[in-house]
Amino acid sequence: MNAEDARDTSLEGRLSRPGVRLESVGNGIARVSWSAELQAQGFEAASAAVRDEVAAALDELKQARVEALVDPDDLLGTRIATWAGLQREGVMRGALEQDGELRDRVVFARLRTDAPIHKSRGFRALLNSFLPRKRAIAQMLVRDAEGRVLLCNLTYKQDWDLPGGVVEVNEAPHVAVAREVEEELGLDLTPGGLVLTDWLPPWSGWDDAVCLVFDGGVHEASLAERIVPQAREIRTARFCTLQEVHSLCADFTARRIDSALANLDSGGSSYSESGRPR
């Protein structure tokens, strides 16, 4: 990350660490950056200099927030920001114009109210901010007495799928699947045990995800008559034969359903990848 060594006039009054620049970008908000020369010294030296500057900005200059914008491809810059105690907050798309193009930047920041990083709570928060987070999807396998499976015709894709959806942050998967079924179909169903854990690789613009399939039990076919589809996401929903499952669903969804049904028959649970048992 390139930076001028001179201090922004709004924060002048104290000497900046060599190679580190601090500028005001708002009321009580400062942005820290560092020179290529400092970064070339390695992440330990650079992160120590940036960490000291961040601490001074928060403690001495009474800034409420210190942030840094790092090129997503700059792995060393990412390490420097992290070891300086800045928590990763996300990606700001088109944050800067460079060579006539808008470029993304990863936003790192530290607040004056953040727990000290030498304390366990502060260190855990720092780790939590940049460790990988995987999307979780919870689905329900609902059957009728004839062995048919409840499928949804979704508005945002052509193929059919099991009822369910994305697990929200800090939401238990079994709570998520019951919520999704109630929101999207108007059905109050209590999920049973987990019958399949299926990993989905990156596909068609989606990142990878873990799909958890819960047993939705066996119901009368008349259950389908009580369905009230959420118009924004569900065109219709109905019980389908296994032949229809393979006709209406994407191949990996059909494999997932096959694996889940096999586990129900055996009374167990298993792990698969795109529906293929491992």
10-residue mean pLDDT profile of the chain (278 residues): values are 44 66 93 94 93 94 96 96 96 92 97 94 93 94 97 93 96 98 97 97 88 98 96 95 97 97 94 94
What's the pLDDT score for residue 252?
A: 95
Would you list the domain boundaries of the chain? Answer: 9-130, 135-277
CB count in 10 Å sphere of residue 55: 16
Predicted TM-score (pTM) of the model is 0.81
Can you give the pLDDT at residue 11?
61
- pLDDT confidence of residue 8: 41
Class of domain 9-130: alpha beta
Q: Is 135-277 assigned to CATH 3.20.20.70? A: no
Give yes or no on whether 9-130 and 135-277 have one common fold.
Answer: no
The predicted pLDDT at position 204 comes to 77
pLDDT attached to residue 1: 53
Residue 278: its pLDDT value, please?
87
pLDDT at 253: 97
